[in-house]
Structure 1
Amino acid sequence: MNTAARPRGRRPGNDDTRGTIRDAAKALFSAEGYDRVSLRAIARAADVDPALVHHYYDSKAALFVEALLPTEVDLAEVHRHILGGEVAEVGQRAARSFISACDAPEVNDGYLWLISQGEQQVTRFRAVQEFTARELYAPIAEHFGHEDAVLRGQLAAAATLGLFASRNLLQMRPLSTTAVRTLVRTTGHALQQYLVDTW
């Protein structure tokens, strides 16, 4: 029997390290939300050196996407698409991107699980709201020079995630049967005000 002591300190990277980090992140995000969790806290929970977290993941947002979201999200590409056309249509493009993504069956099912199942459903939903506000929408508001970009991001996240919950989870009628083009048009007006317009 080998009785050699385990080396002290954080364990080095190995084939399971990425999965260990991802699982630790999922547990922390589910329990504490997005904003309160740091990469250093995830490293502690995974029992790895913080440098390994940065080795596998470029940012907290990238780790959140892999750990908790039901689909891959390239935030840089999403922002390029939303900001790449006429300024007057930013809200419409943002609304169409969100609604189209959520209408994919695997995304719809994944989001429904996040916000409706288990003891941590409230904090998981809060984590998704915080991520959506800070990483998806706030950078758009920042692009237009708004100093209150985080607030604007929160308003946009409330609008789109509220729409998703009302339409897909609660199945509120007539909202759940309203044509997508109508939802894009009306939600797009709200997102244009939140993210682009000057108040």
Structure 2
Amino acid sequence: MTSSKPRGRRPGSPDTRQTIVGAARGLFDTQPYDQVSLRAIARRADVDPALVHHYFSGKAELFLTATADVSADPMEIFRMVDDVPADRRGGALVLAFTAVWEAAGRSGRFTEFISSMLATPDLTAGAGEFITQQIRERIAHFADPDERTLRATLAMSQMIGMAMLRYTLRMEPVTSVSRSRLAELYGLTLQHYLTGRLSAEDRRNSSPAVRD
């Protein structure tokens, strides 16, 4: 009699990504970052190591996903903004960003993410690479083609600074102001970075001529 149980590790499925995240969270909770390998995570999740690479760009992204509990991977933010008119995406980015970090069950996750990242040099480098490749490039799609990378970097710096004040330093009134008000205030600056004129020279060249 032959066994009907399939051999080998679990193939990919809609639940596989979450299984990998759960396995990673269990290992990162009990071991230092530099001692956890992607192969060890694959063994714990009972999946082929290739599937870990299929769902995640590397250990840094998987760590961020597991510790920040972004069941929403960060791309959820950008899917929320895709259909918003180009001249209103600054505020939309703020609303989407805060919606992800303030969803039920994620209280304090941003602070955990920042603390973990700063405490682990390897993770800091990995997170920087992930943020550059996975997040800045997507913000750049919303930016004016002129100096697109600079625009995306400036917008990203504004959002991270806002999050540090609101979630980590808990500085008033940024902490308690509503998300919609936050979008009004920060959205103007983000929109300027995305589509406005960045240099004083541009503004002078676009100003009406002064009559004598």
Superposed counterparts of 1:117-136, under 5 Å: 120=119, 131-132=130-131, 134-136=133-135
Q: Which of the two has higher C-alpha Rg?
A: 2
Post-superposition offset of 1:160 = 1.5
Counterpart check, 1:152 vs 2:151: yes
Q: Count how many residue pairs are aligned between Structure 1 and Structure 2.
A: 177
3-state DSSP of counterpart to 1:98: helix
What letter is aligned with 2:162?
A: L
Residue 209 of structure 2 aligns with which residue?
none
Q: RCO (CA 8 Å, sep 6+): is it higher in 1 or 2?
A: 1
Structure 1 residues 173 and 122: alpha-carbon distance in aligned structure 2, compared to 1, 3 A threshold: farther
Task: Give the TM-score normalised by the residue count of structure 1.
Answer: 0.62
Structure 1 residues 52 and 135: alpha-carbon distance in aligned structure 2, compared to 1, 3 A threshold: closer
RMSD: 4.3
Counterpart check, 1:181 vs 2:183: no
Structure 1 residues 21 and 181: alpha-carbon distance in aligned structure 2, compared to 1, 3 A threshold: closer
Task: Give the TM-score normalised by the residue count of structure 2.
Answer: 0.59
Structure 1 residues 124 and 59: alpha-carbon distance in aligned structure 2, compared to 1, 3 A threshold: closer
Residue 6 of structure 1 aligns with which residue?
none
Q: Tell me if structure 1 keeps the 8 A contact 2:72–2:100.
A: no
Structure 1 residues 195 and 138: alpha-carbon distance in aligned structure 2, compared to 1, 3 A threshold: farther
Long gaps (5+) in structure 2: 1-7, 12-18, 199-212
Residue 96 of structure 1 aligns with which residue?
95
Structure 1 residues 47 and 54: alpha-carbon distance in aligned structure 2, compared to 1, 3 A threshold: closer
Identity, in percent, stands at: 25
Q: Tell me if structure 1 keeps the 8 A contact 2:151–2:194.
A: yes
What letter is aligned with 1:192?
A: Q
1:22 to 17, 21, 24: 24
3-state DSSP of counterpart to 1:194: helix
Post-superposition offset of 1:149 = 4.1
